[in-house]
Chain A
Amino acid sequence: DSGVTQTPKHLITATGQRVTLRCSPRSGDLSVYWYQQSLDQGLQFLIQYYNGEERAKGNILERFSAQQFPDLHSELNLSSLELGDSALYFCASSATGTSGEQFFGPGTRLTVL
């Protein structure tokens, strides 16, 4: 157990819908990262937050957005879902948000039908 929690574990929805994935970082970690794992693209970095502020963006679609709340949990919002958005979404946290080790959550498996 890494100490990073993610809910829900599984999510099945239809095209065009909107979903919210939730992540709670390890106690004391200020930085949260979101990654997408798909068969096509492998593990891709989406976005990073540090202490409530967006720090970096990767290959994140405009239909996707995220935020980090004052209690440091983070939510990833995916809207206008397409079949190709089906993937495993991982959240990771680290203490500093720079070059340290990242701890990964169990992931949310999203299936878009």
Chain B
Amino acid sequence: AQSVSQHNHHVILSEAASLELGCNYSYGGTVNLFWYVQYPGQHLQLLLKYFSGDPLVKGIKGFEAEFIKSKFSFNLRKPSVQWSDTAEYFCAVMARGSTLGRLYFGRGTQLTVWP
């Protein structure tokens, strides 16, 4: 079975600080990778996704992530966070080419940005 680990449960930063959230997965095959964000009281929204090609993917709101296959990692980064980035961030994995489309989620990282 697949599993996803997010290393940080809660990250607290000041505005303009740089952000990196760790995500590692375990799965022997090829995967599609996702980062979702959940703002307070809202539904999950897709930040970015990696299916194939350039391992450095850019998403919305200035976020990017790098897929490092050898490390089974897909870390999320943002050079300068804003107060409005306060939210919970979820890394998710899906087996590519599977007949099933289920997502395996990490436990999430709560990001708090102080103005």
**A residues within 8 Å of B by Cβ?**
2, 4, 31, 33, 35, 42-45, 48, 55-56, 58, 90, 92, 94, 96-107
Contacts and interface: CB of A to CB of B under 8 A. Distances in A.
Interface residues of B, number: 26
12 contacts: A4-B43, A31-B101, A42-B106, A43-B108, A45-B103, A56-B102, A90-B43, A92-B103, A98-B97, A99-B32, A101-B46, A104-B44
A2 B101 contact: no
Interface of B: 32, 34, 36, 42-46, 49, 51, 90, 94-108
A2 to B, nearest CB: 6
Contacts of B99: 55, 98
B108 A2 contact: no
Contacts of A35: 103, 105
B43 A2 contact: yes
Contacts of B101: 31, 33, 48, 55-56, 94, 96-100, 102
